[in-house]
Amino acid sequence: MRARVFIFVAVGLILGVGIGALLVTIAVRQQEGRQTYLKIVEIKDDEPDPVVWGRNFPNQYEAYIKTMKTSELVKYSDYGRYGGSEAFSHLDRAPDLKTIFAGNPFSVEYREDQGHMWALKDVLETKRLGDAKPGTCMTCKSSDVPRLMKALGAATFYATPMKDLVAQNNIKHPITCADCHEARTMALRVTRPAFVEAMQRRGVDVAKASRQEMRTYVCAQCHVEYYWPGKGNFTLIFPWDQGLKIENIEAYYDGIKFADFEHKITKASMVKMQHPEYELWSTGNHARSGVTCADCHMPYKRAGAVKITDHWIRTPLANIQNTCMTCHRQSEAEMRSRILEAQARTYQLMTQAEKAIIDAIRSIEKAMAEGVKDEDLAEA
């Protein structure tokens, strides 16, 4: 009888301890869910150093520094076959680009863009324009830019040679937390005036944007087509006054008679589009469905009991379950197959377009050698 009582007591104690531990764990997880972050240090306005932000946001910082890595994305068959984050030379992969860009700095060097942590290093080391690069070229390459624009004014920042800005202002940080976040509230923010100005000309007040809109706007302040007028005017401008479609941008440039360069072979006035990712997104299905840049490139994830944004900014193909599969109901394998097929089809069309441009350049070159008049070539 005593043995049976002892067993019941022991079992009761074990159950009590187990239930108590479970309740403590639940309470801890609930507290984690309520506490979005633990404030270890005070972060000052426009703090450019991501290490400081990382003291309060270790999970986000740990993910962000992975944008320095490239080895995980080497397998193009897994993550897409035509881009990635390795700085390979597009001129080596597609030599015809040297002819297409003849007379433009992209005929000298054109490498694949890398992760955000490479932004400053890459722009400082590129052979394009050399020491002649104006401050405009650094607008989206460093988290030191917001404080410098406030101190110098945007016009002075743009007009100052980039090498002087770096040497005189201790610029050492790439794209980091301050570019997208307000230090006191962590709210998303736009720090590049060219985007705000372009949206104002389109009748859009960025200050009234919803949080969901801001999850695109913080990216759109940099991932766009842009130009500066030239002739000593280095002001950064987004050509959106007539709309965001490529034909709208072409009409805008035609209207102001703007050209990036004169083609070395054909002598034609040319525009070199940069990276119109926001423009292309804005006219697509994802924009119409309310899907933002962050939804696909910075999806939500769990850190303990807390839901956070994944700051390892990368291709959605690297994390299909948290990106595509939150909306699409196909299998992961089917989604990957569809995306890779779309990439292959797009690449094929781009290759065909490049060949057509090369044929046109050679035809114009031949006509010029045969003495065809410029006005006749212009009509052709």
Q: Is pLDDT of 7 > 80?
A: no
Reference 143, options 56, 48, 67; nearest CA is 48
- The per-residue pLDDT for 377 is 84
* pLDDT, tens digit (0-9, with 9 covering 90-100), for 69-115: 765 455 555 556 677 778 889 999 899 999 999 999 999 999 988 89
Domain 38-314 has CATH 1.10.1130.10: yes
**And the tokens for 192?**
């590049």
- The per-residue pLDDT for 4 is 63
Q: Which residue has the higher pLDDT, 374 or 214?
A: 214
- The per-residue pLDDT for 82 is 75
- The per-residue pLDDT for 18 is 61
* pLDDT, tens digit (0-9, with 9 covering 90-100), for 312-361: 998 898 899 999 999 999 999 999 999 989 999 999 999 999 999 999 99
Q: Which residue has the higher pLDDT, 129 or 5?
A: 129
**And the tokens for 162?**
């980039």
Q: Is pLDDT of 252 > 50?
A: yes
Alpha-carbon distance of 249 to 246, in angstroms, equals: 5
Binning pLDDT at 50, 70 and 90, where does residue 27 land? very low
Binning pLDDT at 50, 70 and 90, where does residue 378 land? confident
**And the tokens for 129?**
């324009």
Domain ranges of the chain: 38-314
Local structure of 309: helix, strand or coil: strand
* pLDDT, tens digit (0-9, with 9 covering 90-100), for 186-238: 999 999 999 999 999 999 999 999 999 999 999 999 999 999 999 899 999 99
Binning pLDDT at 50, 70 and 90, where does residue 17 land? low
Contacts of 343 (CB under 8 A, 6+ apart): 80, 81, 82
User: Which amino acid is located at 266 in the chain?
Assistant: T
- The per-residue pLDDT for 160 is 97
Measured in degrees and rounded to the nearest 5, phi and psi for residue 111 equal: -110, 155
